[in-house]
A and B are shown apart, each in its own frame.
Chain A
Amino acid sequence: MAIPKSSRGVVSEWLFTADHKKIGLMYIVYSLLFLVIMGIEAILMRIQLAHPHASFMSPQAFNRLFTLHGTTGVFFVAMPILFGFGNYLVPLMIGARDMAFPRLNAFSFWMTAFGGFVLYASFFAGGSFLQGGSAPDVGWFAYAPLTSTTYSPGHSTDYWTLSILLAGVGSVGGAVNFIATILCMRCPGMTLGRMPLLAWMNLVMGGLVLVTISPLTAAQIMLMVDRYMSGHFFDTAAGGSVVMWMHFFWIFGHPEVYVLIIPCFAFVSEIVPVFSRKAMFGYPAMVAASVGIGFVSLGVWAHHMYTVGMPSYGNAFFVLTTMIVGVPTGIKIFNWLATMWGGKIRFATPMLFCTGFLFQFLIAGLTGIMLATAPFDWQLSNSYFVVAHFHYVIVGGILFTIFAAFYYWFPKMTGRMLNETLGKWHFWIMVIGFHLTFDFMHIPGLLGMPRRVYTYEPGRGWETWNLLSSIGVVFQAAAVLIFVYNMIQSYFKGAPAGNDPWDAWTLEWATTSPPPDYNFAAIPEVRSRRPLWDIKHPEDPDWKYE
């Protein structure tokens, strides 16, 4: 292929870059692409589920869609987008010139990226494309023994395992980098107690990734031993236990959801103070709560397994630990509220999305508490109530804060503001779509509708709710389209942002937008948690109070 010289330069500049900002942007763009793909998968599923006994698609196709939708969502949308923001922001916010290991950083990104390509290569690996090719169809937690060669012949499950394994290596590499960067690259004066909360929470996230992705990797290796070498880890005929897979998966799977939400807490903790014009309320408590959530979340995994027949004391133990997580999470919610309290809140788009997050995450957390109650969960587990719960957290929590982060940091990344009017449209249509889809999903769950069914029986009181859910997706898709349009339009034509459009207080706003390759002309020195506040208010600097 003949690529013109100049564009060859641009391509290789990005392909071989080790600059944390470029890698961060690549992570972000890559995840947005997958967001649209997994969103289209969701749209297709919702079309099939709009009516009972629909025949829009075959059961095989549906099963592939939810497997890919879930796997993509967790591993190739949420994880990489958060890693992307972390990559971009952490060095800037701690006043460093790059991540600790730039080349490892590039390696991690490409591993993750490659994982996603492997997953979707399955579509083209034989079988009819419209039926999903030979895409995996075992669900995103891939319970044994459905994944064994007996019940999943062919290679569909192999694509799944391999892609997760690759993405896992990428994530661990990224986490090592985050930890080393945050601990070893801070600018002078930035003690641990003065780090922006975003850095703290990325540190906790990094630590969680180390201890949770690794068990997943181990479990994937075992599954591969079973599949490729006829091993017996999950072979019940040889005395193996399939419950063991469940434990290993959820030892990863539960902390994983906190891996996802903690960086989102970080966004909220940066955005809410700036738009309320107040310092973060209870910084030490926020740090302690994040670390606390990290630790406690390691001991709650079996709340996904209340129905597998654990002894009653086992169930009770996990009820207790799971509910305890609510306490530090509550501390955070209250601290954010207290930060808003007495402020002068500017409802620019980032703050709107954060407010939406606060509201929705509250509900999501409370439905989480219902699920944590083992007996209630015996009814709700694997029903649409669970689907509603986790989309409330993942879409209403994670996706909303990611949108907030986009509106907040896009000016820094590109030098141009996102359009506020379009932003408001984006927000409100998203809110409507989100609530239409996911509020009504709770109800069929309470009325006995299990998840992962490609169709359902009429006459069980589920029809209306499913139809409403499906209608909601149209709004969500419209909102995402507005957002994508806004980004493209603003990238070229947006109002110039200047260094510090939000009148904010952390170090990334002290350099140009977009920042130069070396981030800072001179490495900054700080004396407080809000270095820019100190400069803007020399009469009343923060360090007097810390």
Chain B
Amino acid sequence: MSAIPAAMAANEAPWKLPSRGRVGMLSLIIAESAIFTIFVAAYILYIGKSISGPTPRQILSVPIFITVCLLSSSLTMHWAVAALRKGKTGSFALFWFATLALGAIFLIGTGREWHHLISQEDFTIQTNLFGTTYYSLVGLHASHVLVGLIALAIVMILALLGKVKCEHWERCEVLSLYWHFVDAVWVVVFTVVYGLGR
């Protein structure tokens, strides 16, 4: 009794299952969202609770430029995947590189903001409650951008070596899901840190 007879009824639709890459990535995104939810909740609950200064208003300036960069990288990412799907490896590499560059600009921007805060304003994770929540939340997001950039860079190298083909478009799409997620989280972080919190 090692094989179960193929007893499929004739009227059943052909057997089709969701792609495990996509399901896996979506699951991961759900888990990550839960982590961010907790950090965002902590940030919101601690707004205005610091006993000593400085306050967000005194030292934070709104990082419009890098935000625009990051958000537009979602667009280039989308185009890159679309291009690959159509087999246009050349424009894929171009858009992929644009995404990588925009993400890197964002990360550098965050780094510069932190550098400014730490060296000019003397504001660190230890300064007060605001410092703790600010660096943790923004840092958590930045670390996700970093992970994304590393993944993007690996694909970029493979693409330059000519190893990325049309049939890989689904894998790239799975990766793009992560990247879109990181962007979406930034929208929340941005609203909370530079909007609500200020």
B19 touching A225, Cβ below 8 Å: no
Q: How far is the CB of A323 from chain B (nearest CB, A)?
A: 25
A211 touching B5, Cβ below 8 Å: no
Bound Cα distance A140, B34 (Å): 22
Per-residue CB contact flags for chain B residues 15-48 toward chain A (1 = under 8 Å, else 0) read 1011110011001101111111111001001100
The total of chain B residues at the interface (CB under 8 A) is 45
B132 touching A179, Cβ below 8 Å: no
User: Chain B residues with Cβ under 8 A from A510's Cβ?
Assistant: 1-2, 4
For A541, the closest partner residue in chain B by CB is B7
User: Chain A residues with Cβ under 8 A from B2's Cβ?
Assistant: 510-512, 520-522
Besides the contacts A172-B31, A510-B2, what 20 more A-B pairs have beta carbons closer than 8 Å?
A100-B24, A179-B27, A183-B18, A184-B18, A214-B38, A217-B35, A218-B35, A222-B136, A233-B132, A237-B51, A238-B52, A238-B128, A239-B49, A239-B50, A248-B42, A511-B2, A525-B4, A525-B6, A526-B7, A534-B7
Q: Which of B5, B20, B34, B42 contacts A535 (CB 8 A)?
A: B5
User: Chain B residues with Cβ under 8 A from A101's Cβ?
Assistant: 20, 24
Q: Does A282 make an interface contact (CB < 8 A)?
A: no
User: Chain B residues with Cβ under 8 A from A532's Cβ?
Assistant: 1
Q: How far is the CB of B46 from chain A (nearest CB, A)?
A: 7
A185 touching B38, Cβ below 8 Å: no
Q: How far is the CB of B137 from chain A (nearest CB, A)?
A: 10
User: Chain A residues with Cβ under 8 A from B15's Cβ?
Assistant: 188-189
Q: How far is the CB of B48 from chain A (nearest CB, A)?
A: 9
User: Chain B residues with Cβ under 8 A from A251's Cβ?
Assistant: 38
User: Chain B residues with Cβ under 8 A from A524's Cβ?
Assistant: 3-4
Q: Does B12 make an interface contact (CB < 8 A)?
A: yes
Bound Cα distance A184, B17 (Å): 5
Q: Does B77 make an interface contact (CB < 8 A)?
A: no
Q: Which 7 A-B pairs have the closest CB atoms?
A: A524-B4, A214-B34, A218-B38, A184-B20, A231-B132, A188-B15, A100-B20
B136 touching A221, Cβ below 8 Å: yes
Bound Cα distance A522, B4 (Å): 8
Bound Cα distance A512, B125 (Å): 59
User: Chain A residues with Cβ under 8 A from B19's Cβ?
Assistant: 184
Q: How far is the CB of B1 from chain A (nearest CB, A)?
A: 6
Q: Does A17 make an interface contact (CB < 8 A)?
A: no
- In the complex, chain A residues 97-115 whose Cβ is within 8 Å of any chain B Cβ: 100-101, 104
Q: Does B9 make an interface contact (CB < 8 A)?
A: yes
Q: Does A362 make an interface contact (CB < 8 A)?
A: no
Q: How far is the CB of B143 from chain A (nearest CB, A)?
A: 10
A229 touching B126, Cβ below 8 Å: yes
Bound Cα distance A172, B29 (Å): 11
Bound Cα distance A177, B136 (Å): 29
Bound Cα distance A520, B19 (Å): 22
For B24, the closest partner residue in chain A by CB is A180
The total of chain A residues at the interface (CB under 8 A) is 64
Among A172, A237, A251, chain B packs the most CB atoms within 10 A around the CB of A172
A238 touching B51, Cβ below 8 Å: yes
Q: Does A232 make an interface contact (CB < 8 A)?
A: yes
B50 touching A210, Cβ below 8 Å: no
Bound Cα distance A295, B17 (Å): 25
Q: Does A405 make an interface contact (CB < 8 A)?
A: no
Bound Cα distance A532, B37 (Å): 45
Are A225 and B132 CB-contacts (below 8 A) given A525-B7, A525-B8?
Answer: yes
- In the complex, chain A residues 146-198 whose Cβ is within 8 Å of any chain B Cβ: 172, 175-177, 179-181, 183-186, 188-189
A183 touching B132, Cβ below 8 Å: no
- In the complex, chain A residues 200-230 whose Cβ is within 8 Å of any chain B Cβ: 206-207, 210-215, 217-219, 221-222, 225-226, 229-230
Report A's interface with B, CB cutoff 8 A: 95, 100-101, 104, 172, 175-177, 179-181, 183-186, 188-189, 206-207, 210-215, 217-219, 221-222, 225-226, 229-233, 235, 237-241, 244, 248, 251, 499-500, 507, 510-512, 520-522, 524-527, 531-532, 534-535, 543
A189 touching B31, Cβ below 8 Å: no
For A215, the closest partner residue in chain B by CB is B38
A-B CB contact pairs (8 Å), 18 listed = A176-B24, A180-B20, A183-B20, A184-B19, A184-B20, A185-B20, A210-B34, A211-B31, A214-B31, A221-B140, A225-B136, A238-B132, A239-B51, A510-B1, A510-B4, A527-B7, A527-B8, A531-B4
Are A183 and B45 CB-contacts (below 8 A) given A188-B15, A215-B35?
Answer: no
B31 touching A507, Cβ below 8 Å: no
Q: Does B145 make an interface contact (CB < 8 A)?
A: no
Q: How far is the CB of A264 from chain B (nearest CB, A)?
A: 22
A186 touching B17, Cβ below 8 Å: yes
A211 touching B34, Cβ below 8 Å: yes
Are A188 and B8 CB-contacts (below 8 A) given A179-B27, A219-B38?
Answer: yes
Per-residue CB contact flags for chain B residues 114-136 toward chain A (1 = under 8 Å, else 0) read 00000000000110110111001
A185 touching B42, Cβ below 8 Å: no
A222 touching B42, Cβ below 8 Å: yes
B1 touching A230, Cβ below 8 Å: no
Bound Cα distance A514, B2 (Å): 13
User: Chain B residues with Cβ under 8 A from A177's Cβ?
Assistant: 24
A210 touching B27, Cβ below 8 Å: yes
Q: How far is the CB of A501 from chain B (nearest CB, A)?
A: 13
A185 touching B24, Cβ below 8 Å: no
User: Chain B residues with Cβ under 8 A from A543's Cβ?
Assistant: 9
B125 touching A231, Cβ below 8 Å: yes
User: Chain A residues with Cβ under 8 A from B35's Cβ?
Assistant: 214-215, 217-218, 221
User: Chain B residues with Cβ under 8 A from A214's Cβ?
Assistant: 31-35, 38
User: Chain B residues with Cβ under 8 A from A218's Cβ?
Assistant: 34-36, 38-39
Bound Cα distance A185, B35 (Å): 28
Bound Cα distance A172, B28 (Å): 8
Bound Cα distance A189, B6 (Å): 9
User: Chain B residues with Cβ under 8 A from A235's Cβ?
Assistant: 129
B17 touching A183, Cβ below 8 Å: yes
Bound Cα distance A319, B2 (Å): 52
B24 touching A215, Cβ below 8 Å: no
Q: How far is the CB of A217 from chain B (nearest CB, A)?
A: 6
For A526, the closest partner residue in chain B by CB is B4
User: Chain A residues with Cβ under 8 A from B31's Cβ?
Assistant: 172, 175-176, 210-211, 213-214
Q: How far is the CB of B22 from chain A (nearest CB, A)?
A: 9
User: Chain A residues with Cβ under 8 A from B32's Cβ?
Assistant: 214
Bound Cα distance A524, B36 (Å): 42
User: Chain B residues with Cβ under 8 A from A229's Cβ?
Assistant: 125-126
